[in-house]
Amino acid sequence: MKVCILTAGIGERMGSFTSKTNKVLLPYQNKAIISHIIEQFPAECEFVIALGHQGHHIQQYLRLAHPLINFNFINIKNYNQPGSGPGQSLLQCQKELSEPFYAVCGDTLWNPSLENIQPTSFNWLGVSPLTDDEKTSSYCTVTLDKHSFIHQIYEKSKESPTRLAFNGLLFINDHKSFFQNLASKPKEGSEHQLSQGFLPFLDKKDLKANQMKSWLDLGQQRKYIAANKSCPQFAFRKENEHFYEVNHRIIKYFSDKKLSCDRVKRQKFLSRVTPEIMDFTDHFYCYQKVPGEVFYDKATPALFSHLLHWLNKNLWQTPLKNEVIDFKAHCLNFYKKKTNRRVYLFHKKYPHKNLQRLLAVLDTINWSWLSEGIACPFHGDLQFDNIIAQENTFTLIDWRQDFDGLLYVGDIYYDLAKLKLGLDIDLRRLKMSAHLQQNISPASPQINDPQKYQAILKQFCQDNNLSYKKVSLISYLNLINMAPLHSEKLALYFWNLGLHQLEAFLNTQGPCKTISP
């Protein structure tokens, strides 16, 4: 049995969420929407994918996420022009659908255990009741006779007498009649509506309603956000980067293919401490899910001490690939100039939030001293969620792509500052607070007994002739740098906390321009 998944549209109802990629690749419960659709059908089905907006992203994702499935990709012409739509997409897939088939819109999900979507000797449409806040003018609605055959179709009508809507899933048994009617020329300026192919079935009583109670419409930004409230990672989402877990693989997506390419290159250099990349494309890479537990779940002071010594031996003290020229200038760019860019990015998104107060604080920092880094191999995002603890060892995931353009060398202080940030703020608990829409307390959620961990980190710095003050300052600057990358609630939290910690640091250390290690 063939299944045609309609993905060509640009996803206007999703707003900025689809500015970088197609809506079927948006994560839901840690999988792309299209993976959920595929898994709702029997394994023996063949899939025809109608491609349009960012279609190459979809091809690349499916190659990595579902390598055992053969997909037939159809590039839809003029998918973003007047007259385009799901009907036009199906017409262009007609040659591949010369038998009874399913078709499904790329934003339609349901619970397979609650619905019967078996092929039948008649045609059927999946229908579901609209909620009170949904308008019939946004949907194709239908009326039924007493035998559940569809009696009348209303195409996005304000005057519709019914609130029973076509939910995006259909089964066509009489494919010849369907395509013959769908090919009829639509009214000038209008698109090929799917309903155009259904109309002749109404008089013949050959279009039944498959009434489904578990319909989940992910095609509107409001509904997509609501559906993801149960996912802690959603609060930390980035529109240009996505994470998926499917078929025991971890898949990372980047809208900027240079970032993806650089991460692939860096993994080869970091092979002692990171999982091997199984496959990659321009915008994606994947690796086998790493067994073990994130450090937050295993954390003890003794294990943290072991982690620091493991990092020192297996990462920071490994030989450099090339000699670094003027590393201090790279550090100055990474710490000072990047911070200034992020500050003004934040102010552009959320103006008048203590900008002058923060600029005054930043002006007291001795950037020359701060930029005296120590060049070494680095991870770049050593938060505890990115450290998988295994028996007597660790694996590091989600490494940063570069350090001011340097692929193989970064500053040990940056890695240490990320670790300190994990001690000062339990980011996992913060994610939970954010996704539950609770008020985030000014007192940061912390790992249990943070002072014990901080003492271990401070002792490690002393034993290795490193400045704990520098680690602390970079950690607080990290909060400011994180702020503009997140949604408003978390952005303001990181900004205010970073400002508070920088001011507290100044009060205890004195002016940073004269600070000593």
Is the pLDDT at 441 greater than 80? The verdict is no
Kind and range of the H or E run holding 172: strand 164-172
Nearest to 316 by CA among 270, 373, 231, 376: 376
Tell me which of 301-305, 333-337, 354-358 is least confident: 354-358
Q: What is the mean pLDDT of the chain?
A: 90
Q: Pairing between strand 123-129 and 207-211?
A: parallel
Tokens for 154?
Answer: 């209303």
What proportion of the chain, given as a percentage, has pLDDT over 90? 71
pLDDT in tens, 124-159: 999 999 988 899 998 999 999 999 999 999 988 999
Contact yes or no for 484/345 (Cβ under 8 A): yes
pLDDT classification of 281: cutoffs 50, 70, 90: very high
Tell me what pLDDT residue 361 has.
Answer: 93
Tokens for 274?
Answer: 């990171």
- Rounded Cα–Cα distance for residues 150 and 171 (Å): 14
Tell me what pLDDT residue 187 has.
Answer: 60
pLDDT classification of 508: cutoffs 50, 70, 90: confident
Q: Is the dihedral of CA 413, 414, 415, 421 positive or negative?
A: positive
Three-state DSSP at 50 gives strand
Indicate yes or no: pTM above 0.85.
yes
Encode 246-278: b = buried (16+ Cβ within 10 Å), e = exposed: bbebbbbbbbeeebbbbbbebbeebeebbbebe
Is the pLDDT at 66 greater than 80? The verdict is yes
pLDDT in tens, 85-123: 899 999 999 999 999 999 999 999 999 888 999 999 999
Tell me what pLDDT residue 444 has.
Answer: 57
Tell me what pLDDT residue 432 has.
Answer: 65
